[in-house]
A = this chain, B = another copy of it.
Amino acid sequence: MTVARTVELEGHIIDSGTMGMCFGVVMDMGGEFEVEDFEVGRHKHAETYCRMRVMAESEDDLRAILHELNQQGATVADPRDATLENAPEDGVVPVDFYSTTNHPTYVRVDGEWVEIEDPEMDCALVVERADPEDPQGVGNADERRNGDGNTRVLTKVLNAVEEGDLVVTGETGIRVEPPERPRNGGGSFGFMQGGVSSERPSASLIEEIADEMREVRENDGNVLVVCGPAIVHSGGRDALADLVRAGFIDNLSAGNGFAVHDLERDLYGTSLGVDTESLEHPRKGHKHHIYTISEIARLGSIEAAVDEGIVDEGVMYECIDNDVPFVLAGSIRDDGPLPDTITDAIEAQDAIREQAHDADIVLMLSTLLHSVAVGNCLPSTTKTVCVDINPATVTQLLDRGSAQAIGMVTDIGTFIPMLRDELLEE
């Protein structure tokens, strides 16, 4: 940590989340902090003051951190004037221009803090100094607005920037004042903290999930996968079977539907002329579905069907072949169900509870019902990965989930093959 700078914050910064965000920013961006002074607001209407020293490994890193802190409302402690640079051309800003938030903002010009006009996100700030020769602004180009001869700071969108405009650059001499949490509730109006949205490239997220699964395996940990039938429809079944076979799955939780679809592919994939690749006769699907259940019922269990060689591939097959325990929980929309399915909800919950307690990481794949059932039994310390094509499902699972969670809105039919490739092809 070779470079440092001191910043200050003031206001209802604890309950507005600002203080926590600032500590988080520094840590997330690889810096360190040292609180030099801290006066907590001792009651509801008292403000909190914090002065802290922020350290980073390079000037670039420090600048990036300070930029973020500034947007949260922190100001560099030792106030200097903002740095200004002329716009090189119309519609062009200097390299290090200050990009605005939409919060009330003050810029220090010639020793004075000037409030910016019309705060708006993602704009440049342009300083119009009072003309000392013409304090009334009579000869000023923008007479109407700056007639009082005071220094102004305008908020300009890029296409309004003109050559020669005095554009604010860097982070010094700028003070942002994010709105604070209303003291007396806000009625129905929720208080929105400036969250950090994390749009992440799908492929790189999958890599990290694979890393995590590898690590769990190396530590003899336990991976629980919760499976919905969409895995089979969307073509993720073979990849999941590969993962079970390769030992990446320690426990499987699903419903009757998932198992029947998986077994049906196996029983009818080649024998009755239905091409599982092209699905050319999808209309017969439901009859196969029922008949699959009937066949397993005749044999007594999925394990019996495997033993008799009638089922010889797929996810359920690999579970039995590799001694991966599974729980199939029944539901009122089931056909059949399979003899392996636990039809009593309380009994099924108890079985799920045991799986959940053993897990170190849980992959919730395209099933809301079963994921909620598992999630209900999880301690907050278990890592969870929630994958679904429906953003509402992912949100709901993250809301109820553990303290460390990844949510991905993606296609399970492409997710599992890519995860498999990541884990197996190396």
Contact = CB atoms under 8 A, between A and B. Distances in A.
A353 B208 contact: no
Contacts of A38: 38, 40
Contacts of A20: 14-17, 19-20
Given A178-B380, A344-B344, A234 B332 contact: no
7 contacts: A92-B294, A122-B335, A158-B335, A188-B200, A196-B282, A202-B234, A333-B376
Nearest to A61: B273
A89 B335 CA distance: 17
A103 B411 CA distance: 31
Interface in A260-285: 272-273, 277-284
A70 B102 CA distance: 36
A390 B60 CA distance: 39
A320 interface: no
A64 interface: yes
Interface stretch (A125-133, A136-144, A309-317, A367-375): A367-375
Q: Which of A26, A43, A196, A395 has the most CB of B within 10 A?
A: A43
Nearest to A391: B392
Contacts of A103: 379-381
A418 B198 CA distance: 23
A104 to B, nearest CB: 7
Interface stretch (A77-85, A242-250, A397-405): A397-405
Interface stretch (A106-114, A146-154, A179-187, A216-224): A179-187
A104 B64 CA distance: 36
Copies in the complex: 4
Contact of A278 (B92, B204, B418): B204
A349 B184 CA distance: 36
B345 A337 contact: yes
A361 to B, nearest CB: 10
Contact of A92 (B17, B234, B298): B298
A343 to B, nearest CB: 4
Of the four ranges (under 10, 10 to 19, 20 to 34, 35 or more), the interface on chain A belongs to 35 or more
A391 B394 CA distance: 12
Nearest to A409: B389
A326 interface: no
A118 interface: yes
Interface string A171-205: 00000001101111111111110011111111111
A290 B158 contact: yes
A298 B372 CA distance: 27
A424 interface: no
A185 B279 CA distance: 13
A28 B184 CA distance: 7
A243 to B, nearest CB: 16
A423 interface: no
Contacts of A381: 103-104, 179
Contacts of A357: 118
A132 B199 CA distance: 58
A236 B173 CA distance: 40
Given A101-B380, A202-B234, A294-B91, A190 B405 contact: yes
A214 interface: no
A352 interface: yes
B343 A334 contact: no
A57 to B, nearest CB: 11
A106 B280 CA distance: 29
